[in-house]
Amino acid sequence: MTARGDYHESLWEGVPEGLDPPAEGMRRAFLLEHVGPGQRVLDVGCGEGRFTAELARIGTHPVGIDVAAEPLRRARARHPELDLRQVSPEGAWPLADASFDAVWAGEVIEHVADTAGWLSEVRRVLRSGGSLLLSTPDHGRLQMLWWALAPRAFEAHFNPRADHLRFYRSRTLTDLLEDFGFHDVELRGAGGPPGARRRLLASARRSRF
């Protein structure tokens, strides 16, 4: 196992088994709004498989991938019927080109060190015109102002020991997705007022050949 693999495993050691994902209901509703029965959907950073299982329940054909073995062990114990695979945090995913109608990445992109490589893989496995769906914490101006007025909250959120590596606001996320060949980018803020763990919910289309 690589040093980076060890890092991801150590993060999961501190996560209680069965812990509810943050903003689970909001994120589930957004995801199910954009996918439907019969579609092949890739759940990137699937963790314990909550969303992968929900995708299977509504009749999609999901594949869940994660860089850590521990969450996949938990997911397989709960959902042995699911297609769950461990991938390396570096390099290409062992998935065919243009093999998915949609990619879902809930609370993942902020943890990614090589954002360019990650988005290139997302684009590669999506079919032409396929959908990228993601959620990530919102770092818009009002949220940043709230943190500026609440030093302890600011220090907790931006703790250098925390696992968030990237911080997005709507403009920077839109620009990033467009730079990597996505169009029809739509973003919405959700989760309440500043200080209430607001999130960005984003959908985008892979550019056609």
Q: Is 50 helix (H, G, I), strand (E, B) or coil?
A: helix
Q: Give yes or no for a contact between 37 and 60, defined as CB atoms under 8 angstroms apart.
A: yes
Q: What residues are paired with 64 via a beta bridge?
A: 43, 84
Count of the separate structural domains present in the chain: 1
Per-residue tens of pLDDT for the chain, all 209 residues: 555 558 788 888 878 898 888 889 999 999 999 999 999 999 999 999 999 999 999 999 999 999 999 999 999 999 999 999 999 998 999 999 999 999 999 999 998 999 999 999 999 999 999 999 999 998 666 666 666 667 676 666 666 666 677 879 999 999 999 999 999 999 998 876 555 568 999 999 998 76
Per-residue model confidence (pLDDT) at position 23: 86
Nearest to 122 by CA among 147, 142, 99, 143: 99
- CATH number for the domain spanning 55: value is 3.40.50.150
Structural domain of 100:
3-206
Per-residue model confidence (pLDDT) at position 191: 75
Q: Taking the model in full, what pTM does it have?
A: 0.87
